[in-house]
Chain A
Amino acid sequence: ETGVTQSPTHLIKTRGQQVTLRCSSQSGHNTVSWYQQALGQGPQFIFQYYREEENGRGNFPPRFSGLQFPNYSSELNVNALELDDSALYLCASSSTGAAADTQYFGPGTRLTVL
């Protein structure tokens, strides 16, 4: 198992609400990437944070936003939830240097929007 943790495990929200998901990166890792995985699909890149700055973003609207803290943990915020936001949200941590490509995933947060 990796040292990447996420909370909460499961979450149920209604359309229009807002949600905050949390991720703690593996020790020694300073980069966190967020992915959305719909049922039966591969993960889709949302954005990446490196040293508290956004470092790349996928095709997601601005209502998906994030933060990274000085301890390299991260939050994903989604405003104005839509039914299609129901998915498994995964974070992955990685380090800089020669092994910077390698991303280790957390267990995910299962979000259901009703």
Chain B
Amino acid sequence: GENVEQHPSTLSVQEGDSAVIKCTYSDSASNYFPWYKQELGKRPQLIIDIRSNVGEKKDQRIAVTLNKTAKHFSLHITETQPEDSAVYFCAARDYNQGGKLIFGQGTELSVKP
């Protein structure tokens, strides 16, 4: 089955800097890759997603890139702000098991003012 690895596990940046979180997946049949932001004690919130027919997607300060050949995808946050501090999870949709999402282990992002 699908396996998703996420790095780094923790990331600390200064306000205004960029942050990059990387994920790799194992199943070449996976075709959908969402990113969720989870603040302490709250629900995972979808922030951006990408499908396998697209190489890059951007939404204001957030962008996601996908390299199908290498089976990795990345989240890029520019001009970070303290409110970006949270745990970020990447996920891959296991195509062979319907809508099952396989999540990475999470990255705790800390943005220091």
Contacts and interface: CB of A to CB of B under 8 A. Distances in A.
Interface of A: 2, 4, 31, 33, 35, 40-45, 48, 50, 55-56, 58, 90, 92, 94, 100-108
Contact of B99 (A4, A101, A104): A101
Interface of B: 6, 32, 34, 36, 42-46, 49, 51, 89, 91, 93, 97-106
Contacts of A50: 98-99
A73 to B, nearest CB: 17
B99 A55 contact: yes
Contacts of B43: 2, 4, 90, 105-108
Given A33-B101, A41-B105, A56-B97, 5 more contacts: A43-B103, A45-B100, A100-B99, A102-B46, A106-B43
Contact of B93 (A42, A58, A101): A101
A78 to B, nearest CB: 19
B106 A101 contact: no
Contacts of B46: 102-105
* 7 smallest beta-carbon distances between A and B, as pairs: A42-B103, A56-B98, A101-B32, A105-B43, A56-B97, A45-B100, A107-B43
A48 B98 contact: yes
B6, B46, B98, B106 interface centre (most CB from chain A within 10 Å): B98
A41 B34 contact: no
23 contacts: A31-B99, A33-B99, A33-B100, A41-B106, A42-B6, A42-B89, A42-B104, A42-B106, A43-B44, A43-B103, A48-B99, A48-B100, A90-B43, A90-B44, A94-B99, A102-B34, A102-B46, A103-B34, A103-B99, A104-B46, A105-B36, A105-B45, A108-B43
